[in-house]
Chains A and B, each alone.
Chain A
Amino acid sequence: MLLTNLMALPLIGAAVVFALPIGRELLAKQIALVVSLATAFGAIYLGLNMSTTDGGLQYVESYKWIPAFGINWSVGVDGISAVLIVMATVLVPLVMIAGWNDVENIGQGTVKGYFSLFLVLETFMVGVFAATDLFLFYVFFEAMLIPVYFLIGRFGGPQRAYAAMKFLLYSLVGGLFMLASLIGLYVASGKELGKGTFDFTALAGLNMDPATQKILFLGFFFAFAVKAPMVPFHTWLPDAAAQATPATSTLLVGVLDKVGTFGMIHYLLPIFPDASKYYAPVIIVLAVISIFYGALLAIGQTDLLRLVAFSSVSHFGFIVMGIFVMTSQGLSGSSLYMVNHGFSTGALFIVVGFLMTRRGSKFIADFGGVNKVAPVLAGVVLLSGLSSLALPGMSSFVSEFLVLAGTFAYSKTTAIIATFGIVLAAVYILWMYQRTMTGEPSAEVKETVKEISSRELAAVTPLIALIIALGFVPQVALNVINPAVEQVQEYVDVQDAPPAVEGAKE
């Protein structure tokens, strides 16, 4: 029941917060924070108790939901989904602390609305990673859009309605193509098993012919590529991230986009092994393009939020590349990368948010010399940035190294080309730091930029601690991830093996 409770808790919390009368803003925030902290501790407990040898699903629960379509409320986690759930639930209380005064600063919407939307989103985030029934996954995948849509549209910047609409439409269109493939998969499973099913394990055991796989793969991949986001389906992300509050952007980029890459590793490879191999070269090329395109555009940005958004497009390129090279290092690296990217991008968005609330601007040109007036704040910016460019000692270095090492085994040329992406990462991060933090502070900066407050430190310190801790002892996460990765590889390989071997394994 742990997983279902992890979903129920934030949902109940959201209802309680939303039911509070106007005027109890502080209480609303406190309840939301306590609920999200409780959820996070629950998730950490789950993560610590994951088996380091079993790559299958754990904490499995299954109840009948819509038997007419073979749909169950089935949840369970493997190592990859477990670490992502931990990452997501840890981020929620931190963005709440970081966005404590967002609503007051924006001057629109209600506090209880803002915080209850975060809690609703948390329920769906846990659900989308925990679902082991593809229909349930689809439901969470789509349902997640609603709270984010309102978070962007109600609490965002001047272009928020446009950004919210663009976000919703891109995701919905992607989701609808996934729905088409989902129905196709259901019908295909019905032909093979006699009765259609959405159960992940059953679907991964199907023996679909490669032609069907190739068609169905595309629907899922399109949805995941929009979500991830990969070039050329990425254009919604910079708009959404630039208009939303940094707290929303953190969850949007840090967690929601991971659903795309998570879907690739968790669903595409096991269910469509032949199609995955068939399309892998094309996808890897797209991934490399994403790495460079995202990095180059990040260098060219004048807007801090858009810079972080484009840097994520580049990072997602690495993650997708690591998945589709299908080596164990690549897959483990990508899984770990998803967690690290959540923390490091989260830290970046949050500190950019701190800068924005002070200066009232998100443009790089409006800053400069911050390290003279607020040295600690500038230091936090530097640490977050360094983790984004994968400095050794930071957690992202480990994952980026693993991805590149995994890619090297697959194709030396690809790995060598992709390595230059790291150089570009150093350019956009350090150049951003140079322009905003160093130099002589302008009069406005001197007047407006205050040193980091204790609340803000409380939001960002845990993130930086986690980044550094995972940089030195990545085994904590990798031990949980690796069995799951082996399982994924087994799914992909089992399909290749001659029938005699397959029988022997069973």
Chain B
Amino acid sequence: MKISFEYAALAPILILLGAGVISVLLEAFLPRNARRPLQLILVFGSIILSFVYVVVNSEATTKLTDAELGGQAKGLRQIVAQGSVVIDGPGLFIQGILLIVAFIAALLVAEKHVDPQGDGFASRSSTLPGSEDEKAFTAQGVMQTEIWPLYLFSVGGMLLFPVANDFLTMFVALEVFSLPLYLLAGMARRRRLLSQEAALKYFVLGAFSSAFFLFGAALIYAVTGVIDFGSVALSLVNTGQEGLVLSGVGLIAVGLLFKIGAVPFHQWTPDVYQGSPTSITAFMGAATKITAFGALFRVFYVAFGGLRWDWTPVFAVIALITMLVGSVLAVTQTDIKRMLAYSSVAHAGFILLGLISASPNGLSSTLFYLFAYGLTTLGAFGIVSIVRDASGEATHLSQWAGLGRTSPWIASTFTLFLLALAGIPLTSGFTGKFAVFTAAVEAGQTWLVINAIIASAIAAFFYARVIVLMFFTAAPENAPSVVVPSLLTTVAIGSTAAFTLLLGVVPQPVLDLCANAGVFFR
């Protein structure tokens, strides 16, 4: 058998992982002062190059005619890397939006003008919080650049996760993108103990959930003797071992639901969102959700598509409690990052509606939702990172009072993001919700949509409460101020705000892209 390796199809992933390796070498051999500029060029360059390859790949695939696809629906289908990776329409779309999100998040990560001490990361992560060493490094204005190799590996893993075509590749991708995130979560410059606690929790729970995933994959392998999704789907017909199969499916679901933060596997979200450096929270909140939903869809549409009648009710219940618990708990939060964390939980529930629809519309509406939600999340955390007082970011809600008077533009932009998260018409969030809800009603999940509407109504309360605080309440005594950021953060916030508005007012081009992405290839 001739061993072939499709470099072009795998290029987006290879570029980022390769850039990660180069980035490690830069860390090892360059003098400290020369690292940052080169790392930035490497990061942004590799993301752009990778995106170009994603576009080229999708162009190449759409040229295939229906005949060449053997009667399959349109879209690129290509199984590569000896069957471990599949490049198809939805996979390419997810890779594309991941790279856009990663690019904008990198702008936030690279920001070094909002904190007078430097960027958002500890000067030396190895120093004890509060120690003399730490003070010395901070005083010297040292800025570490180890974050960049970690960032690149994480993005690379995320690109592989949703296009993995067997359980082992998917597991490797899961670890490749998760491990760097655990580290990045613990590197905040301010409130380091909180950050380290977040990292530890994230790591322990994440490792735990990975084990669940792996165990589930092992059970499926035990029953079927295969690990790639297409063969699993064929082998799962009439196995006569329902107990093992369903246990395996359940355990894999636990591993993936942990990553998207669905109830009851959401416990890590508020702590990790709060403790992590805000730029990393932005990246993690947006990108992890996108990649994990991509993988979740692939596993359950392709490998377990035949068991739809078994898993749909379970996911329906999970979606229901995720929406309601996320919304209700968000109401009780007093910290803006924790509030956004619970809001992300509620959104995970909304997006699960698309999965439960188990239809092409369910998939395409979810793709749109993920894109819209990712960008809005980035923008919202971007603004959180520039509202600061002397001790760092002012994340307590009471400190945001009166922001609408002192900084009307920033407050208005944040209002736009909140309205989008609440799903008010003319914002991207509404288009996404509308698409997903419509798909769910078409699939006969009307009662679930009604519950989603109730959850949206609860959620509207806490989003509106922040708007009330910003615009209708007088500023407190030592109100935080909005730091004027460098061009990096400005571009990040500006572009996400523009997308949030555009996807609400003229969503058709992106909706077309989502619809043309077609269905998963098996």
A186 to B440, CA, bound (A): 12
A187 to B468, CA, bound (A): 36
A412 to B473, CA, bound (A): 53
Stretch at the interface among A62-70, A310-318, A470-478: A62-70
The answer to whether B457 and A172 touch across the interface, beta carbons within 8 angstroms, is yes
Enumerate B422-468 residues with CB–CB distance to A below 8 Å: 422, 424-426, 431, 434-435, 437-438, 441-442, 446, 449-450, 453-454, 456-457, 460-461, 464-465, 467-468
Known: A139-B426, A180-B453. A161 touches B468 (CB 8 A): yes
**Interfacial chain A residues near B419, Cβ < 8 Å:** 146
Report the minimal beta-carbon distance from B128 to chain A, rounded to whole angstroms: 45
Interface bits A185-196 vs B (CB < 8 Å: 1, else 0): 011001000001
Enumerate A144-187 residues with CB–CB distance to B below 8 Å: 146, 149-150, 153-154, 160-161, 164-165, 168-169, 172-173, 176-177, 179-180, 183-184, 186-187
Tell me, yes or no, whether A440 is within 8 Å of chain B by CB.
no
The answer to whether B468 and A142 touch across the interface, beta carbons within 8 angstroms, is no
**Interfacial chain B residues near A184, Cβ < 8 Å:** 441, 446
The answer to whether A187 and B471 touch across the interface, beta carbons within 8 angstroms, is no
Report the minimal beta-carbon distance from B416 to chain A, rounded to whole angstroms: 11
**Interfacial chain B residues near A179, Cβ < 8 Å:** 434, 437, 453
Known: A69-B438, A183-B441, A184-B441. A154 touches B472 (CB 8 A): yes
Tell me, yes or no, whether B511 is within 8 Å of chain A by CB.
yes
The answer to whether B456 and A176 touch across the interface, beta carbons within 8 angstroms, is yes
Tell me, yes or no, whether A373 is within 8 Å of chain B by CB.
no
The answer to whether B460 and A68 touch across the interface, beta carbons within 8 angstroms, is no
Tell me, yes or no, whether A138 is within 8 Å of chain B by CB.
yes
Main secondary structure of the interface of B (DSSP, over half): helix
Tell me, yes or no, whether B82 is within 8 Å of chain A by CB.
no
Tell me, yes or no, whether A297 is within 8 Å of chain B by CB.
no
Tell me, yes or no, whether A143 is within 8 Å of chain B by CB.
yes
Tell me, yes or no, whether B507 is within 8 Å of chain A by CB.
yes
Report the minimal beta-carbon distance from B364 to chain A, rounded to whole angstroms: 9
A61 to B468, CA, bound (A): 38
The answer to whether A68 and B457 touch across the interface, beta carbons within 8 angstroms, is no
The answer to whether B438 and A168 touch across the interface, beta carbons within 8 angstroms, is no
Report the minimal beta-carbon distance from A182 to chain B, rounded to whole angstroms: 9
Tell me, yes or no, whether B508 is within 8 Å of chain A by CB.
yes
**Interfacial chain B residues near A150, Cβ < 8 Å:** 471
Task: Point out the residue from B424, B431, B435, B437 that lies within 8 Å of A142, measured CB to CB.
Answer: B424
The answer to whether A153 and B468 touch across the interface, beta carbons within 8 angstroms, is yes
The answer to whether B450 and A68 touch across the interface, beta carbons within 8 angstroms, is no
Task: Point out the residue from A67, A68, A143, A164 that lies within 8 Å of B472, measured CB to CB.
Answer: A164
Interface bits A62-100 vs B (CB < 8 Å: 1, else 0): 000111110000000000000000000000000000000
Residue of A nearest to B444 (CB): A187
The answer to whether A187 and B441 touch across the interface, beta carbons within 8 angstroms, is yes
A29 to B159, CA, bound (A): 54
Known: A139-B425, A143-B425. A161 touches B434 (CB 8 A): no
Tell me, yes or no, whether B515 is within 8 Å of chain A by CB.
yes
Tell me, yes or no, whether B512 is within 8 Å of chain A by CB.
yes
The answer to whether B515 and A165 touch across the interface, beta carbons within 8 angstroms, is no
The answer to whether A169 and B461 touch across the interface, beta carbons within 8 angstroms, is yes
A69 to B441, CA, bound (A): 14
Report the minimal beta-carbon distance from A244 to chain B, rounded to whole angstroms: 13
Residue of A nearest to B440 (CB): A183
The answer to whether B453 and A176 touch across the interface, beta carbons within 8 angstroms, is yes
Report the minimal beta-carbon distance from A64 to chain B, rounded to whole angstroms: 8
Report the minimal beta-carbon distance from B183 to chain A, rounded to whole angstroms: 41
Known: A66-B508, A168-B464, A184-B446. A161 touches B472 (CB 8 A): yes
The answer to whether A160 and B457 touch across the interface, beta carbons within 8 angstroms, is no
The answer to whether A138 and B457 touch across the interface, beta carbons within 8 angstroms, is no
**Interfacial chain A residues near B473, Cβ < 8 Å:** 161
Task: Point out the residue from A65, A138, A164 that lies within 8 Å of B468, measured CB to CB.
Answer: A164
**Interfacial chain A residues near B446, Cβ < 8 Å:** 184
Report the minimal beta-carbon distance from A21 to chain B, rounded to whole angstroms: 14
Task: Point out the residue from B425, B442, B460, B465 that lies within 8 Å of A187, measured CB to CB.
Answer: B442
**Interfacial chain A residues near B512, Cβ < 8 Å:** 68
**Interfacial chain A residues near B437, Cβ < 8 Å:** 179-180, 183
Residue of A nearest to B404 (CB): A154
**Interfacial chain B residues near A187, Cβ < 8 Å:** 438, 441-442
- Name, among B419, B441, B465, the residue most crowded by chain A CB atoms within 10 Å (CB to CB): B441
**Interfacial chain A residues near B456, Cβ < 8 Å:** 176
Report the minimal beta-carbon distance from B517 to chain A, rounded to whole angstroms: 13
- Name, among A160, A176, A186, the residue most crowded by chain B CB atoms within 10 Å (CB to CB): A176
Enumerate B469-522 residues with CB–CB distance to A below 8 Å: 471-473, 507-508, 511-512, 515
The answer to whether B457 and A173 touch across the interface, beta carbons within 8 angstroms, is yes
Interface bits A116-153 vs B (CB < 8 Å: 1, else 0): 00000000000000000000001100110010011001
The answer to whether A183 and B449 touch across the interface, beta carbons within 8 angstroms, is yes
Task: Point out the residue from A69, A143, A180 that lies within 8 Å of B450, measured CB to CB.
Answer: A180
Residue of B nearest to A152 (CB): B472
Task: Point out the residue from B424, B434, B450, B465 that lies within 8 Å of A146, measured CB to CB.
Answer: B424
A138 to B453, CA, bound (A): 15
**Interfacial chain A residues near B424, Cβ < 8 Å:** 142-143, 146
The answer to whether A165 and B465 touch across the interface, beta carbons within 8 angstroms, is yes
**Interfacial chain A residues near B468, Cβ < 8 Å:** 153, 161, 164-165
Report the minimal beta-carbon distance from B508 to chain A, rounded to whole angstroms: 5
A491 to B326, CA, bound (A): 44
A67 to B512, CA, bound (A): 9
Report the minimal beta-carbon distance from B500 to chain A, rounded to whole angstroms: 15
A144 to B450, CA, bound (A): 23
**Interfacial chain B residues near A138, Cβ < 8 Å:** 425
Task: Point out the residue from B422, B461, B467, B508 that lies within 8 Å of A68, measured CB to CB.
Answer: B508
The answer to whether B438 and A169 touch across the interface, beta carbons within 8 angstroms, is no
A440 to B88, CA, bound (A): 85
The answer to whether A172 and B460 touch across the interface, beta carbons within 8 angstroms, is yes
Residue of A nearest to B422 (CB): A172
Report the minimal beta-carbon distance from B449 to chain A, rounded to whole angstroms: 6
Interface bits B392-427 vs A (CB < 8 Å: 1, else 0): 000000000000000000000000000100101110
The answer to whether A169 and B507 touch across the interface, beta carbons within 8 angstroms, is no
Known: A66-B511, A176-B456, A183-B437. A142 touches B464 (CB 8 A): no
**Interfacial chain B residues near A164, Cβ < 8 Å:** 468, 472
Q: List 12 A-B contacts (CB under 8 A).
A: A66-B508, A66-B511, A139-B426, A146-B424, A153-B472, A161-B473, A164-B472, A169-B457, A169-B464, A173-B460, A179-B437, A196-B438
- With contacts A139-B426, A177-B453 known, what are 8 further pairs, Cβ within 8 A? A68-B511, A154-B472, A165-B465, A168-B460, A168-B464, A184-B446, A187-B438, A190-B442
Taking beta carbons and an 8 Å cutoff, which residues of B are in contact with A? 419, 422, 424-426, 431, 434-435, 437-438, 441-442, 446, 449-450, 453-454, 456-457, 460-461, 464-465, 467-468, 471-473, 507-508, 511-512, 515
Q: Top 9 nearest A-B pairs by Cβ distance?
A: A161-B472, A139-B425, A68-B511, A153-B472, A173-B457, A176-B453, A142-B425, A180-B453, A172-B460
